[in-house]
Each structure stands twice: as C-alpha cells, then as structure tokens.
C-alpha cells in the first residue's frame, strides 16, 4: 500500500476559536486528517506529523530548513508523496523553498485554508483531500513543489495569494494553474520543472536578504538605511523593473557591495531587459549590475537569493540561476 506523509505547520486550516475571540493554530495533523470526508476510504496509508503550530507570518527560514529535512526524511523512508499543511499568508514562499531544496520527482504538495475549521463552508477539508490526491498522482511527479487550493494545482514558481479572504485567493497569474481537480481526481497540463536544487542548511537562516518595494516619490532613504543590515537585496521595482531617477546612484552603490536582484512589484510578468532607456529604467539598472529576476515576483526572488547566498554562489552563478526563471 502506498504511503502519503502529512506534515502540519499550522495556519488557518489548523485554527480554533479562543475564548477571547479570534482563532489561533491549535489543531494537530491527526485532527486535520480526521475532518476530511473520504480520506479513510482511499486505498493508502496516511501518516501524520505536526512539525509546527504557527500562523504563517511567523514562519522563518530556520523553520523551512527543518521542514525541508522532514520532507526529505519522509521521502527517504518510502512515502510516495508529502503533503504540507501551512498558513496561506506565506505558503507561496515556503512552496518555492521546498521546490528548490527537495530533490527528486516525488510530489511535495502544500495546502491550507482561507476559512478556519469552525466556519461555515470551511475549505480546509476539501483542500486537504485534493492535496492528498495530487500527492499520489503519477502525473504530479517531477513537477516540483505544488500548492493545491480551491481545486486548482499551482506551481511553486508562480502561485500567489491575491486576496485577503476569498477562497479563490490563489492564482498563477502568469501562466495559469498546472492542473485542476475533476471529479475528485487531478488533471494536469505538461509543464517542465526548473532544473535547480539547492541545499537547505542552517546557514540559510543566518543570512538576511532584504526586500525593498519601490514607490512613487521614493527618495531612497529606506534603502540607504536598510542595505547595511543585508547580505543581499531584492528590489520590487515599479512596472517592468524601474526606480526613480533620484535613486539610481544609490542603487549602483549598493549593487557594487552585494547582489541586488531587480523584480517587479506588479506581481506578474517578467522584468524587461531592453525597452526603456531613461535613468532608473530596466536597461539602466541592469547595465549597472542589477540581476534580472525573470518571472519571479519579489518575495520568490528573495527566497531564491537567500538559498543561493547560503550556498556560497558567486555573482555569475546567481545571475545564471535567476536566468532559469526567464
Ligand atoms: N488563511 C491563513 O492560513 C492565514 C493565516 N494568517 C496564516 O497564514 O497562518
């Protein structure tokens, strides 16, 4: 009989009401499994482990290093796939982290819930059921880490939370979902995985990669104060990867000291390379040594840069890794 391992990290899917109001993550992995109709009828063994009980805004890189090790241990011990239950606020970053650090073809499927278990129409059980079905699907092998929410299967590279409360919050705006649940089973479209695996060592949690989102009228003061505390930086640039002309000298200065990755704050589409020629444009910034983020959004670019720096990757290696993302 095949085995699926479920690893719980917390999040709304595991939250229960407190006497003082509001919800907090208290349910363990066994509780989550017990709430899913139809799971017990599937012809498979399910094992459960509660690794963390955290709201996902409080998940950090040290937690992700432990999670990657736990996922690998389950796969090494023979699990056909692993499901990770996780808060939705940062699930997209954890998904990319696992995509980059868990080698092999076995499905690693993340899921969560927008509504807590005690709410009317709680979505956690349906999401967990779908995630388990994806974890055992042969077609899910080799797709990298996946996020399953609301009957859609998303690739780690592209998925984003795009709504604060809707159960349809998760979107792969750039190229659409990789698959859909149809009559309880996942159906996929073919999509190649990015061929990159990086180590998830404790060094990852000791680094600080800053993420600075650029806004209208930005005078650079925030960046000036933030960068000395950082080992690397991601800029969430305006539009196709731009900053105000007044920031250009500062950005050049920072890029001479550490890797600075240029992403877009728009949330979808690739940073351009060769269109705009004004000071602070993508052409200008790339010429000054900034690294092109490809199709990765700023939060995902930060995860990749953090892992690359922890692995001791030099500037050319960092550029080459980001080039894999378009
Ligand atoms: N829906 C959720 O899971 C949101 C929650 N704040 C979390 O990320 O833990």
Domain containing 248 — which CATH number?
3.40.50.40
- What domain count does the chain have? 2
Distance from the CA of 205 to the center of ligand 1, in angstroms? 22
Do 179 and 304 reside in the same domain of the chain?
no
All residue ranges of the chain with pLDDT < 70 are: none
Q: Is 99 annotated as a binding residue?
A: no
Residue 128: give the domain boundaries.
Answer: 3-188
| CB-defined site of ligand 1, < 6 Å | 11-12, 55-56, 87-89, 112-114
C-alpha 100/C-alpha 119 separation (Å) is 34
> Residue 208 in 3-state DSSP?
coil
Among residues 293, 285, 286, 287, the alpha carbon closest in space to that of 264 is found at: 293
pLDDT value at residue 283? 97
pLDDT value at residue 218? 96
pLDDT value at residue 143? 95
Task: Tally the C-alpha atoms within 13 A of residue 142's C-alpha that lie toward its C-beta.
Answer: 7
Distance from the CA of 164 to the center of ligand 1, in angstroms? 10
C-alpha 202/C-alpha 205 separation (Å) is 6
pLDDT value at residue 191? 77
- Residues that are catalytic: 12, 88
pLDDT value at residue 175? 85
Do 176 and 225 reside in the same domain of the chain?
no
In a domain, 103, yes or no: yes
């Amino acid at each position: 009989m095949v085995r699926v391992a479920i690893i719980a990290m917390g999040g709304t899917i595991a939250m229960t009401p407190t006497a003082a109001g509001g919800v907090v993550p208290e349910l363990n992995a066994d509780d989550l499994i017990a709430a899913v109709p139809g799971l017990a009828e599937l012809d498979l063994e399910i094992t459960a482990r509660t690794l963390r009980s955290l709201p996902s805004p409080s998940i950090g890189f040290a937690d992700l290093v432990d999670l990657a090790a736990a996922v690998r241990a389950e796969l090494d011990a023979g699990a056909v796939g692993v499901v990770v239950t996780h808060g939705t606020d940062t699930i997209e970053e954890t998904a990319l982290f696992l995509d980059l650090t868990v080698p092999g073809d076995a499905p690693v499927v993340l899921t969560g819930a927008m509504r807590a278990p005690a709410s009317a129409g709680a979505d956690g059980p349906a999401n967990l059921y779908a995630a388990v079905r994806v974890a055992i699907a042969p077609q899910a092998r080799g797709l990298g880490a996946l996020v399953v929410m609301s009957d859609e299967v998303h690739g780690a590279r592209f998925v984003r939370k795009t709504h604060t409360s809707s159960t349809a919050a998760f979107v792969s705006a750039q190229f659409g979902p990789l698959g859909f649940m149809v009559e309880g089973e996942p159906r996929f479209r073919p999509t190649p995985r990015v061929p990159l695996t990086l180590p998830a060592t404790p060094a990852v949690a000791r680094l600080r990669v800053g993420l600075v989102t650029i806004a209208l009228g930005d005078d650079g003061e925030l960046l000036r104060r933030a960068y000395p505390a950082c080992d690397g930086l991601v800029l969430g640039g305006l539009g196709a990867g731009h900053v105000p002309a007044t920031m250009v000298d500062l950005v050049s200065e920072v890029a001479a000291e550490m890797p600075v990755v240029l992403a877009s704050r728009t949330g979808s589409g690739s940073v351009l390379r060769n269109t705009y020629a004004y000071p602070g444009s993508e052409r200008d910034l790339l010429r000054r040594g900034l690294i092109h983020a490809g199709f990765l959004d700023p939060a995902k670019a930060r995860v990749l840069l953090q892992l690359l720096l922890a692995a001791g990757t030099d500037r050319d290696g960092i550029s080459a890794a980001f080039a894999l993302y378009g």
